[in-house]
Amino acid sequence: MKKYREKIDGNMFLLLITIGLFFAMYVIGLIAFQDRGFGKLQVFLNLFISNSGLIVASVGMTIVLIIGGIDISIGSVIAMTCMLLAWMMEVKGIGAVPALIIVLLIGIAFGFVQGWLISYLKLQPFIVTLAGMFFARGMTAIISTDMISIKNEQFLSWANAKWSLPFGGSVNKKGIVVNPYIYAGVVIALLVLILVFILLKYTKFGRSIYAIGGNEQSALLMGLNVRRTKLKVYVINGFLASFAGFLFSLNTCAGFVEQAKGFEMEAIAASVIGGTLLTGGVGNVFGSLFGVLIKGTIESFITFQGSLSSWWTKIVIAVLLSFFIILQSMLAVARRKK
């Protein structure tokens, strides 16, 4: 029992650093951009609004990382999803609901193929998902190389569905009190997060994911069906990636080839910053949420600052990712020495 607690402590340490970092960054933002309204509740809610897709994508990534795999195709899958949605609704005239269902089914199929290659043919997850990444990006270009904006009424009504909070309002320039609001996509993303949290924590399937990620050999000897569990994880991830694509398109209302480029690194960074170990077996979806929030805070810093180019977001995230990876690696070395 004692040993178990020790292990949790090391990983809790990473999560605590993350939460601490988030609050520290937010406080810095409050002080630095005080006069520009950084303290508004809406600014905080915007972190969720602009990142609802990333929340879902990083939840999927977290599951895959816990089982000891990786999926670098999600950015392209998201682009393909957005493009397919836009193309089906605008060019083919398919309704929003059937288009959504088709897109999610394609995501599941994509995850199934990748998962089958990884779990049953024992191919390296990197190579398979790297091919998947180029495949999906290329497919996006095959569907259309031009940008398609979505004008479907039902889809736009989904995109604009928002709830105002009954408190925390601020007075705008015209003197009207505007309550802070969130979009429906955020609520759905958070629901997905909670569902996956329950799945990982309280179901047999969830526990076997941790067991396989911790040590595949012993999981096999324990009698777990390693292959099937892995396959299921990649299918779930494929579904979540296309679902993230749907949420992403609710924000952008368009499909184009260059969309969501580098998204896979943001999702990996969010998971890793949130305390998921790249070696597998350890991770928590709530940690990933904080990873996403940190990324969002960096982004709003850059928007509030005004003169920095958006490229800085990617560079800062890369630096943060390197920092956390090195921290993990050092913790692992320290543990081994013990």
* Distance in Å, CB of 71 to another protein, minimum: 11
Residue with Cβ nearer another protein (96 or 118): 118
Residue with Cβ nearer another protein (181 or 312): 312
* Distance in Å, CB of 1 to another protein, minimum: 29
Euclidean distance between CA atoms 278 and 60, whole angstroms: 14
* Distance in Å, CB of 86 to another protein, minimum: 16
How many residues belong to the chain? Answer: 338
Residue with Cβ nearer another protein (159 or 241): 241
DSSP-derived secondary structure for 190-223: HHHHHHHHHHHHHSHHHHHHHHHHH-HHHHHHTT
* Distance in Å, CB of 217 to another protein, minimum: 17
* Distance in Å, CB of 239 to another protein, minimum: 21
Residue with Cβ nearer another protein (167 or 311): 311
Residue with Cβ nearer another protein (146 or 153): 146
CB < 8 Å & 24+ apart, contacts of 324-331: 324/14, 324/269, 324/272, 324/273, 325/272, 325/278, 327/14, 327/17, 328/14, 328/272, 328/277, 328/278, 331/10, 331/13, 331/14
Q: Which residues bind another protein (CB under 8 A)?
A: 70, 72, 117, 120-124, 126-128, 130-135, 137-139, 141-142, 145, 257, 262, 264-265, 268, 278, 309, 311-312, 314-315, 317-319, 321-322, 325-326, 329, 332
Provide the sign of the torsion angle of the four alpha carbons 99, 104, 105, 106, taken in this order: positive
